[in-house]
Amino acid sequence: MKLSARTLTNYILFAFLFSSVCMIFGRTAVKLASEDAAQVSVQSESPVLLIDPGHGGEDGGASSGEILEKDLNLTVSRNLADICTIFGYKADLTRNSDTLLYDAFDDMDDYGGKKKTYDLRNRLRMAEESGSSLFIGIHMNKFPQESSKGLQVYYTPNADGSENAARMIQNYAKTYLMPWNQREIKSATSAIYLLHRIQMPAVLVECGFLSNPEDCANLTDREYQVKLASAIFAASSEWLASAP
């Protein structure tokens, strides 16, 4: 993806803002100066992060009028991957176009009426074959009551470190984007196919509610999308630095 000068400036500004704040408070958020971190992130073949933009293709996910979750998921995920690249972290996306992934491994002749099932199965397979340290699913929420708003992070109960990663992302978002947000992280149940089955550190970020006008306006704003990705990046890099 080609970055405009303004977008690039935004990335760097926000990412430096977050890393500077963490340094000031004596935390090791973004280990740019660390040779260890550079070795892990740049020289390793495996991505440090595998970012999964939810839905795609014929599965738009949640919507608000013409606004489709699948498109916002991809935008925020690309922002996050770009910021990772700028800071020397290798990050991969499960999809980088508007498509479902049911035939990603081309392993069947007929996917029948189960495209969404196979799509999730393949995302799980991609995660487990990626060798990455952390899987981050990016989604947008929707609820019948318009008043529901705010980011919320889910984590898999199957792998140590997932809960901590979720807490860091939730806290960064609360601190820098939405101090009013009282939502708490949640362990995924069987209702979340991927997190219920995955056996590596994994979180799913429900970035906000398309059914809430304020959240929806933010989530479709380019500058907010960069801030959101920066907060997720800063939390992830702090998690990576603190992971055993």
Residues in contact with Zn ion by the rule CB under 5 A: 54, 61, 139
Cβ 159 to Zn ion shortest distance, Å: 21
The H-or-E segment that residue 195 falls in is: helix 193-197
By beta-carbon proximity to Zn ion, the closer residue of 70 and 227 is: 70
| Residue 169 or 234 having the CB closest to Zn ion | 169
Is residue 56 within 8 Å of residue 42, measured between CB atoms?
Answer: no
Give me the residue whose beta carbon is nearest to Zn ion. 139
240, 151, 231, 241: which is closest to 201 by C-alpha? 240
Packing angle, helices 69-86 and 222-242, rounded to 10? 50
Q: Which helix (H) or strand (E) holds 17?
A: helix 5-24
Residue nearer to Zn ion on the CB measure, 54 or 150: 54
Please state the closest distance from residue 69 (CB atom) to Zn ion, in A: 5
In the bound complex, what is the minimum distance in angstroms from residue 70's beta carbon to Zn ion? 8
Please state at what angle helix 5-24 crosses helix 222-242, rounded to 10 degrees.
Answer: 40
47 versus 54: smaller Cβ distance to Zn ion: 54
**CB of 122: closest distance to Zn ion in angstroms?**
16
